[in-house]
Amino acid sequence: MRYFIKFSYKGTNYHGWQIQPNDISVQSVLTDAMSLVFRFQVELTGAGRTDAGVHAVNMIAHFDLPFYIEDSSKVVYRLNSLLPKDISIESIFEVEDSMHARFSAKSRTYKYYVSTKKSPFDDEFSARITFALDEEKMNEAAKTLFDYIDFTSFSKVHTDVKTNNCKIYHAHWDRQGDYLVFTIKADRFLRNMVRAIVGTLIEVGKGAITVEEFRNIIESKDRCAAGMSVPAKGLFLVDVEY
């Protein structure tokens, strides 16, 4: 029987979602706890791979069991009792055997938080910007993302993916108090893609490049042409749609 598990985590202390040979990951910690609770070696497949230091508000993974979970709420309680404070389980529910956490997902949504005011309370969850940004220009540049599907310029090089094509459905900056929040939704994302897009849009915002130059960067299909990736700590996976 196949189940989906919905959970959240603070990525600060982890080397990303995926199991690493010599580093601690969210997947390894969660797999160990679930295998202990079920007394069965669980194999988890996540909806995506978040990089080291990236957080998730609504992450989904699937796993298979040879038996039925009679009371999922008790399992959630036991898992939350075992897991460290920076990983929290919301729910576990049965799905069709054909459902796949990664391949059945229709879209993923990320948010990136930029702090425009110094605060001792948000350093782990946002990137601090000390210069003025032109939000209108940044949103004008963000709209050009809808005109393309090949985002090689914003991808980490030498990855194992077969294509760098993605369909972006939403990309917009919003002001929320002392924060600038970039929300982006797409059918899939490349490694480091959101952080590279944000870093390059910030270059537009501070006047280092124009909107047209941002478009040229996309068309160049050259990661070296784009801006620096912003820190992982400001990035959150906030939704996965099926």
Q: Which residues are catalytic?
A: 51
Give Cα separations from 87 to 5, 69, 169, 186, 232 (angstroms).
12, 21, 29, 25, 17
List, as one string, the DSSP characters of 16-63.
Answer: -SS--SSS--HHHHHHHHHHHHHTS----EESS-PPTT-EEEEEEEEE
Do 86 and 25 meet the contact criterion of CB atoms below 8 Å apart? no
SS3 category, 67: coil
Q: Please report, in angstroms and rounded to a whole number, the separation of the first and last CA atoms in the chain.
A: 19
Residue 98 class from Cβ within 10 Å (0-12 exposed, 13-18 middle, 19+ buried)?
A: exposed
Distance, CA of 146 to CA of 169 (rounded, Å): 7
Do 27 and 47 meet the contact criterion of CB atoms below 8 Å apart? no
Select from 120, 142, 156, 125 the least CA-distant residue to 200: 142
- Residue 65 corresponds to which amino acid? L
